[in-house]
């Protein structure tokens, strides 16, 4: 199935995509490490059912040298022993910040305390921005039916 719409073929869509990409630079250039960014992005994308984004972030993790077991267990991270306490805190923030529409209370005080234990202000800001931006990216891709499977690692630099 082909995507319904190519956002960048439209003047308004192209302006939005450019600014969206520029906003992501703040996250990429932050001190939050790439593996944590990719794990969080993958988990948010799994929750939202975004095939394109799951494809992107699994392949980026593999290209970064992550073991298959760490990639494959992201959806069940609470039942896995392969993530650090810091990564678990980031994954909890990702889930709770994504499931707001499910009637969840948002990010719990416990999760917030775990995040703050492991991440300084800059990394916390990057995590918050990443969760918000991934939720937006997932919605864009799902709305236009952008399918996963053809992504090549490193495409986004």
pLDDT digits (tens, 9 = 90+) for 78-97: 999 999 999 999 999 999 99
Specify the pLDDT at position 1.
61
pLDDT band of 105, cuts 50, 70, 90: confident
Give the three-class secondary structure for 87: helix
If you average pLDDT over residues 21-49, what whole number do you get?
97
Round the average pLDDT of the chain to a whole number and report it. Answer: 95
104/36: higher pLDDT:
36
Distance, C-alpha 47 to centroid of its chain: 10
* CATH entry, 31-144, from 1.10.760.10, 3.90.550.10, 1.10.3720.10, 1.20.1290.10: 1.20.1290.10
Specify the pLDDT at position 16.
94
Are 5 and 144 in contact by the 8 Å Cβ rule? The answer is yes
Give the three-class secondary structure for 121: helix
63/103: higher pLDDT:
63
Specify the pLDDT at position 7.
86
* pTM (two decimals): 0.94
> Any idea what the Cα angle at residue 133 is, between residues 127 and 138, rounded to 5°?
125
Could you read off the pLDDT of 123-144 as tens digits, one per residue? 999 999 999 999 999 999 999 9
Distances (CA, A) of 111 to 92, 102, 117: 6, 17, 10
pLDDT band of 102, cuts 50, 70, 90: confident
Backbone angles phi and psi of 66, in degrees to 5: -70, 140
What is the C-alpha to C-alpha distance for residues 149 and 10, in angstroms, rounded to an integer?
Answer: 25
Q: Domain extents for the chain?
A: 31-144
């Amino acid at each position: 199935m082909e995507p319904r719409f190519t956002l960048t073929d439209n003047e308004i869509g192209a302006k939005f995509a450019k600014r969206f990409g520029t906003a992501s630079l703040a996250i990429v250039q932050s001190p939050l490490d790439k593996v944590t960014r990719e794990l969080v992005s993958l988990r948010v994308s799994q929750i939202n059912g975004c095939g394109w984004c799951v494809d992107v972030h699994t392949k980026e993790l593999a290209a970064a040298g992550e073991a298959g077991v760490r990639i494959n267990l992201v959806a069940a991270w609470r039942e896995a022993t392969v993530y650090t306490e810091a990564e678990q805190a980031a994954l909890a923030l990702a889930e709770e910040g994504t499931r707001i529409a499910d009637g969840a209370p948002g990010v719990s005080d416990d999760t917030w305390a775990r995040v703050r234990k492991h991440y300084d202000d800059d990394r916390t800001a990057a995590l918050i921005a990443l969760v918000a931006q991934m939720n937006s990216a997932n919605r864009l891709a799902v709305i236009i039916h952008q399918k996963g499977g053809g992504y090549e690692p490193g495409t986004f630099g």
